[in-house]
Chain A
Amino acid sequence: EPEVTQTPSHQVTQMGQEVILRCVPISNHLYFYWYRQILGQKVEFLVSFYNNEISEKSEIFDDQFSVERPDGSNFTLKIRSTKLEDSAMYFCASSETGGMNIQYFGAGTRLSVL
């Protein structure tokens, strides 16, 4: 069964550094999402992406965050200058067009900002 793939599984970075989290969505999917989960808290929506542009973003997704689909397969989340409070599990998800709209999730990247 096709899966959403995320790399790396764990990223450790120093505060103020830039990080890029990578995702390979399921190949025929056209909608892409990033969510995050701070330890002990809810899974929270960050951003959705369709047709090479952001379709919706949350208030969490400020100017420090950006997303990109640099080629036909990857979908990336960049955090420009990481803060301690960015430490969380980041999940990528994708869904196909049409009525099914089931979001399939990757295994997540644990980001630890020191």
Chain B
Amino acid sequence: AQRVTQPEKLLSVFKGAPVELKCNYSYSGSPELFWYVQYSRQRLQLLLRHISRESIKGFTADLNKGETSFHLKKPFAQEEDSAMYYCALKAGGTSYGKLTFGQGTILTVHP
């Protein structure tokens, strides 16, 4: 069974502070991990995926298979980063497949 845990429902930081949104997963095979973001009144959109190993809007996330984690980090938060963030997992090795989502973390960046 696939499971994704985001332990923080709410996270508040001040502008310019570092931010880390935690994500842990449980999956027996080789997973693909994603971070999706939902800004106010907008649709879910992909922020980044672990196999791309890229930085989007200053965010990075590293897959740590030993700790089964895929935490999202940004060194200097901006007010426009305020949104709901979802970590999601898909079984690796297939070109399609369901996403299993975490509960989501609401990030608020204060001025």
Partners in one complex: yes
> Is A68 at the interface (CB under 8 A from chain B)?
no
Interface residues on A, range: 20 to 34
Q: Which residues of B contact A18 (CB under 8 A)?
A: none
Q: Mark B65-107, 1 if CB is under 8 A from A, else 0.
A: 0000000000000000000001000100001111111111000
Q: Which residues of B contact A101 (CB under 8 A)?
A: 32, 90, 95-97
B49 touches A58 (CB 8 A): no
Q: Tally of A-B residue pairs with Cβ under 8 A?
A: 54
Interface residues on B, range: 20 to 34
Q: Give the Cβ gap from B94 to chain A, nearest Cβ, in Å.
A: 8
Q: In chain A between 2 and 46, which residues have their CB closer than 8 angstroms to a CB of chain B?
A: 3-4, 31, 33, 35, 41-45
Question: How many Å lie between the Cα of A102 and that of B101 in the bound state?
Answer: 14
> Is B46 at the interface (CB under 8 A from chain A)?
yes
- Say which residue of A4, A35, A42, A55 sits within 8 Å of B102 (CB atoms): A42
Question: How many Å lie between the Cα of A55 and that of B49 in the bound state?
Answer: 23
Q: Which residues of A contact B10 (CB under 8 A)?
A: none
Apart from A31-B96, A35-B99, A102-B46, 20 more pairs, CB < 8 Å:
A35-B101, A41-B103, A42-B101, A42-B103, A43-B44, A43-B86, A45-B99, A48-B98, A56-B98, A58-B98, A97-B95, A99-B95, A101-B32, A101-B90, A101-B95, A101-B97, A102-B49, A105-B36, A105-B43, A106-B43
